[in-house]
C-alpha cells in the first residue's frame, strides 16, 4: 500500500522555497555576532520596515505559537485577558501557550462567521463590567487570513480596532497566513496606521524554514525587549538563521517578493480546487484554503484513495494549498474527489 499523500493537509507540509534556501546558504558564510545583533538580522528587519512603511522593532522566532504567545505577554498582564475569535489559533491550537508565556493571561472567545469577529460581539465584550473574579480584557487579537481562509477588508479591521484603542487596549495581528491575505488584496501599509501594536508576519506557512517575524509597531514596547525575549527563551544565539530566510522571502523590490508572489500562486491553486470540488463549500475561498461539507464515511473513502486532510473546527474537511502546490496535484485530487462523490 502506498503512503498517504499530505499535499493538501496543511500549507506547512511543503519544503522551503529555493529563494529561502539560497539566502540561508549565503548567511552561513563567515562569522556574525549573536542574539540578533548580526548584519543579516539588521538587513531583514530593514526590508520588513520598508514593506510596512513603518518604523518598528523587528525580532524573529522559530514558531508562530511562540511569536503569538510572546506578543500577548507584552499586551496583557497575568490577571488580564485577550479578546479573539473563538476559533482563532491562539484559542484552539496553541495548548494554552498565551497563558504559559503570560503567567496566566486568559483568552475570551468572540463569535463571527467564517473566522471574522463580529463588531457587535466585540462591543458587547468591551462593555462588560469589570469584576474581581473575571479577567478583564486588555487586548484584541485579530487574524488574517483567518482560520477559515477568509480575509478581512480594511474597513472591517478598522471598525474592530477603533473601540479597542479607545479603551487604551493593545492590538495583536496574527499573520501566520498574512502573505495569502496580501495576495488577496490586503494592504500591509495600513497595518501601522490602523493602530496594530504587534504584528506577526508568518514565514513558515508561506514557504520558509521555521521563522516568524514579530514586528513591534508601538515604541512603548521596545524597552528591555531583548531581555524579555531572552527570558521567554526566544532570543536565539545564531539569530541570523531565523532572519536570513526573510531576505529570500522578500527579495529587494519592496513588493513582497516571493513571499507574496508564491502566496498568490497558493491562492490560485485553492480557486482551481474549488472549481473542481464536487462537495458543498462552506466558506468563501479568499486565500489558500477550501473548507467543504463532507461526512465521515466520505472522508474515509478519500483517505482510502490515499489523500489525508483534516477534519476542521466547524466539522468541515479542510484542504490547504501551498506555494509548492502544482496544477497536477490539484487535478489528481479533483479526480479522487469525483470518484468518491
Residues of the chain with CATH 3.90.1150.10: 257-340
Q: Is the pLDDT of residue 38 over 70?
A: yes
Average pLDDT over residues 66-85: 98
Average pLDDT over residues 219-245: 96
pLDDT averaged over every residue in the chain: 97
pLDDT of 19: 98
Average pLDDT over residues 48-74: 98
C-alpha to C-alpha distance for 84 and 174, rounded to whole angstroms: 10
Per residue in 148-187, pLDDT (tens digit) is 999 999 999 999 999 999 999 999 999 999 999 999 999 9
Give me the CATH code for the 18-250 domain, please.
3.40.640.10
DSSP string, 168-193: T-EEEEEETTHHHHHHTT--GGGHHH
Percent of the chain whose predicted confidence (pLDDT) is above 90: 99
Q: Is the pLDDT of residue 2 over 80?
A: no
Average pLDDT over residues 261-268: 98
Average pLDDT over residues 74-84: 98
The x, y and z cell numbers of residue 240, run together, are 541570523
Q: Is the pLDDT of residue 340 over 50?
A: yes
Q: Is the pLDDT of residue 1 over 80?
A: no
- Terminal Cα distance for the chain, rounded: 23
pLDDT of 59: 98
- pLDDT grade, residue 3 (50/70/90)? confident
Per residue in 317-334, pLDDT (tens digit) is 999 999 999 999 999 999
DSSP string, 83-129: EEETTSHHHHSSTTHHHHHTTS-EEEEE--GGGPPPHHHHHHHHHSP
Q: Is the pLDDT of residue 270 over 90?
A: yes
DSSP string, 310-337: EE-TTS-EEEE--TT--HHHHHHHHHHH
Q: Is the pLDDT of residue 83 over 90?
A: yes
Per residue in 100-157, pLDDT (tens digit) is 999 999 999 999 999 999 999 999 999 999 999 999 999 999 999 999 999 999 999 9
Average pLDDT over residues 75-94: 98
CB-count burial class (<10 Å; 0-12, 13-18, 19+) for 9: middle
Nearest Cα residue to 209 out of 10, 5, 14: 14
Nearest Cα residue to 290 out of 270, 275, 309, 310: 270
Residues sharing a CB contact under 8 Å with residue 47, sequence separation 6 or more, in sequence order: 246, 247, 250, 252, 254
Entry pTM: 0.97
The x, y and z cell numbers of residue 185, run together, are 488584496
Helix (H, G, I), strand (E, B) or coil at 275: helix
Residue with cell 522555497: 17
Give me the CATH code for the 257-340 domain, please.
3.90.1150.10
Amino acid at each position: 500500500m502506498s503512503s498517504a499523500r499530505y499535499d493538501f493537509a496543511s500549507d506547512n507540509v511543503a519544503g522551503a522555497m529555493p529563494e529561502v534556501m539560497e539566502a540561508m546558504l549565503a548567511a552561513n558564510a563567515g562569522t556574525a555576532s549573536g542574539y540578533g545583533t548580526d548584519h543579516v538580522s539588521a538587513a531583514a528587519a530593514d526590508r520588513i520596515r520598508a514593506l510596512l512603511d513603518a518604523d518598528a522593532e523587528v525580532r524573529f522566532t522559530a514558531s508562530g505559537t511562540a511569536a503569538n504567545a510572546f506578543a500577548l505577554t507584552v499586551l496583557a498582564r497575568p490577571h488580564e485577558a485577550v479578546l479573539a475569535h473563538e476559533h482563532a489559533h491562539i484559542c484552539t491550537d496553541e495548548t494554552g501557550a498565551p497563558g504559559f508565556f503570560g503567567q496566566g493571561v486568559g483568552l475570551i472567545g468572540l463569535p463571527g462567521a467564517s473566522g471574522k469577529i463580529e463588531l457587535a460581539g466585540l462591543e458587547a465584550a468591551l462593555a462588560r463590567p469589570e469584576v474581581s473574579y473575571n479577567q478583564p480584557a486588555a487586548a484584541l487579537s485579530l487574524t488574517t487570513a483567518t482560520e477559515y481562509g477568509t480575509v478581512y477588508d480594511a474597513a472591517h479591521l478598522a471598525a474592530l480596532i477603533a473601540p479597542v484603542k479607545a479603551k487604551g487596549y493593545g492590538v495583536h495581528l496574527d499573520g501566520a497566513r498574512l502573505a495569502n491575505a496580501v495576495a488577496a488584496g490586503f494592504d500591509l501599509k495600513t497595518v501601522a496606521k490602523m493602530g496594530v501594536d504587534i504584528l506577526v508576519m508568518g514565514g513558515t506557512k508561506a514557504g520558509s524554514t521555521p521563522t516568524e517575524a514579530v514586528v513591534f509597531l508601538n515604541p512603548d514596547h521596545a524597552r528591555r525587549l531583548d531581555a524579555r525575549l531572552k527570558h521567554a527563551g526566544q532570543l536565539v544565539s545564531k539569530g541570523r538563521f531565523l532572519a536570513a530566510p526573510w531576505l529570500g522571502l522578500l527579495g529587494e523590490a519592496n513588493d513582497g517578493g516571493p513571499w507574496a508572489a508564491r502566496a498568490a500562486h497558493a491562492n490560485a491553486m485553492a480557486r482551481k480546487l474549488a472549481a473542481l470540488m464536487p462537495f458543498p463549500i462552506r466558506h468563501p475561498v479568499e486565500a489558500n484554503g477550501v473548507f467543504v461539507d463532507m461526512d465521515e464515511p466520505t472522508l474515509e473513502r478519500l483517505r482510502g484513495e490515499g489523500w489525508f486532510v483534516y477534519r476542521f473546527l466547524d466539522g468541515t474537511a479542510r484542504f490547504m494549498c501551498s506555494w509548492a502546490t502544482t496544477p497536477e496535484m490539484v487535478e489528481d485530487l479533483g479526480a479522487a474527489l469525483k470518484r468518491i462523490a
